[in-house]
């Protein structure tokens, strides 16, 4: 029975086609929007579904605003999935998947006389990340847990997307069409007397050169979270609501186009800091409903790039216990 579950799980993830990972900087992609904290118990299946909306409408040159205008605005709607299954109490397999409902840019009005189309829109599957997660340290005395995972990014689209026989710009391509590696670390500390949890997630992504001879930059995400059980006059509310605050730093290196004499793409790569408040509601101890917002605190871009104004994420998580 367990072997059949694993086979079905892997087949489903390979069929789903995508991932949460960052593909390129402007107007941006989801970046590890939802994560499991460490490994799951044996035979527990966790499914997380979420929708993310991101909006951008201004340019930066370094850390200052720029008057440059190629797009009036850029935005996307993204459906994502994170599915995990506990093989043992210390080993979990995970898959990140997702689909762009749309990924859209609106060119600046001053370009109207020179462009046949003012709006470009891409859609479709991104890629899939399959990972194995290991519980490295578990100390119930303090209590502290530390887990780590390694995974592979599988491109399920290897050719660019076209519209009206014209290749879409890179900023609306739904996938980076490249294989890659993802390494992650999860550190959790609990204070049950105060209803507090502290945790840190570190994620590193490396992309290999794709068949368009393009190399997307490396990405490093460092997130610190503080969660607090919220207390209300009604006891049932106190047990079910949690507030979470996240500080996340995202560092991306330059892209490289090896079809050019000077391959480094100067207007690529960034250093970003976000504050992300989140509210979570738990129902029947197996359902979790979350709402979060990304608020940029600091944005630094190499050369001139469009910056993120805000992003919102709503998610549903459900645990299933698979009986033998």
Cβ–Cβ < 8 Å for 25, 59: no
Greater confidence (142 vs 117) lies with 117
9 has a pLDDT exceeding 60: no
Residue 230's pLDDT band, with cuts at 50, 70 and 90, is confident
Kindly report the three-state secondary structure assignment for every residue of 280-305: EEEECCCEEEEEEEEEEEEEEEEEEE
User: Could you read off the pLDDT of 63-102 as tens digits, one per residue?
Assistant: 999 999 999 999 999 999 999 999 999 999 999 999 999 9
**Phi and psi dihedrals of 287, rounded to 5?**
-105, 140
User: Could you read off the pLDDT of 13-64 as tens digits, one per residue?
Assistant: 333 332 333 333 444 444 433 456 778 999 999 999 999 999 999 999 999 9
- Specify the pLDDT at position 14: 35
Nearest in space to 274 (alpha carbons), one of 211, 314, 225: 225
% the chain with pLDDT above 70: 87
How far, in whole angstroms, is CA 222 from its chain's centroid? 12
If DSSP codes are grouped into helix, strand and coil, which group holds residue 113?
helix
Domain limits of the chain?
Answer: 2-321
Cβ–Cβ < 8 Å for 93, 85: yes
**Phi and psi dihedrals of 165, rounded to 5?**
65, 20
Greater confidence (233 vs 309) lies with 309
Greater confidence (4 vs 149) lies with 149
193 has a pLDDT exceeding 80: no
- Specify the pLDDT at position 18: 28
User: Could you read off the pLDDT of 246-277 as tens digits, one per residue?
Assistant: 999 999 999 999 999 999 999 999 999 999 99
- Specify the pLDDT at position 236: 65
Mean pLDDT value across residues 108-122: 94
2-321: CATH number:
2.40.160.40
Cβ-proximal residues to 207 (8 Å cutoff; 6+ apart), any chain = 153, 176, 178, 179, 180, 215, 216, 217, 218
45-54, 62-71, 282-291, 312-321: least confidently modelled range? 282-291
Greater confidence (1 vs 220) lies with 220
% the chain with pLDDT above 90: 74
């Amino acid at each position: 029975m367990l072997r059949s579950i694993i086979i079905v799980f892997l087949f489903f993830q390979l069929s789903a086609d995508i991932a949460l990972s960052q593909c390129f900087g402007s107007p941006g992609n989801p970046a590890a929007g939802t994560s499991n904290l460490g490994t799951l118990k044996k035979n527990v299946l966790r499914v997380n579904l979420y929708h993310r909306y991101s909006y951008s409408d201004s340019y930066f040159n370094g850390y200052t605003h720029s008057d440059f205008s190629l797009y009036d605005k850029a935005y996307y709607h993204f459906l994502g999935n994170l599915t995990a299954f506990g093989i043992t109490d210390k080993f979990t397999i995970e898959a990140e998947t997702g689909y762009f409902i749309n990924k859209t840019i609106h060119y600046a009005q001053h370009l109207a006389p020179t462009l046949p189309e003012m709006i470009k829109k891409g859609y479709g599957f991104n890629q899939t990340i399959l990972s194995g997660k290991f519980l490295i340290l578990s100390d119930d005395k303090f209590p502290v847990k530390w887990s780590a995972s390694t995974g592979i990014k599988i491109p399920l689209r290897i050719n660019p997307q076209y519209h009206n026989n014209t290749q879409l710009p890179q900023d609306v391509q739904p996938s980076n069409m490249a294989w890659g590696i993802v390494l992650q670390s999860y550190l959790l500390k609990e204070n049950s007397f105060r209803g507090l949890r502290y945790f840190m997630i570190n994620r590193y992504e490396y992309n290999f050169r794709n068949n368009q001879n393009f190399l997307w930059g490396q990405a490093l995400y460092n997130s610190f979270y503080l969660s607090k059980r919220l207390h209300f006059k009604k006891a049932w509310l106190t047990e079910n609501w949690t507030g979470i605050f996240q500080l996340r730093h995202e560092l991306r290196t330059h892209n490289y186009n090896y079809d050019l004499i000077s391959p480094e793409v100067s207007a690529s790569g960034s250093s970003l800091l976000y504050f992300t408040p989140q509210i979570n509601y738990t129902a029947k101890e197996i359902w979790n409903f979350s709402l979060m917002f990304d608020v940029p605190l600091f944005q630094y871009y190499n050369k001139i790039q469009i910056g993120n104004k805000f992003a919102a994420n709503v998610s549903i998580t459900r645990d299933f216990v698979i009986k033998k």
